[in-house]
Amino acid sequence: MVKQPEPDLDEVIKALAHPVRRQMLEWLKNPQKSFPSQEHSFELGVCAGKINEKAKLSQSTISVHLATLQRAGLITPRKVGQWIFYSRNEELIGKFLARINSEL
């Protein structure tokens, strides 16, 4: 099992401080419901292209938002061939919530 780093509060909060990125995280809570058109298994997460379709923004913009979420540790990428599947990093999200609950 891969050890998760501690959340960097500043980076996580900044990543959350944009409605599009929060929206993405919300979609990823229920992949099959939010992305019914995905034909791949949901085992590894949701395909970046599907997130791109759903958010009405350019491919390059989506790529940057996903990178921001990933840098903060909020999502985990899994590369399979030409695709990248993203899923929520529940472990880090949980740690973040624990910290903000106790520190805020």
* Residues contributing to the site for a second copy (CB under 8 A): 9-10, 13-14, 16-17, 19, 22, 25-26, 93, 96-97, 100-101, 103-104
CB 81 within 8 A of CB 70: no
Residue 28: which of 78, 82, 96, 80 has the closest Cα? 78
Question: Which of 52, 74, 75, 96 is the binder for DNA (CB under 7 A)?
Answer: 52
User: What is the side-by-side strand order in the sheet with 83-88?
Assistant: 46-47, 83-88, 75-80
Give the per-residue contact string, 27-46, with DNA (x = CB under 7 A; - = no).
--------------------
* Count, residues in the chain: 104
| Min separation Cβ 72 and DNA, Å | 11
**Strand partners for 78:** 85
| Min separation Cβ 4 and a second copy, Å | 16
**Strand partners for 88:** 75
Summarize as ranges the residues that interact with DNA (CB under 7 A). 14, 17-18, 20, 47-49, 52, 57-61, 63-68, 77, 81-84
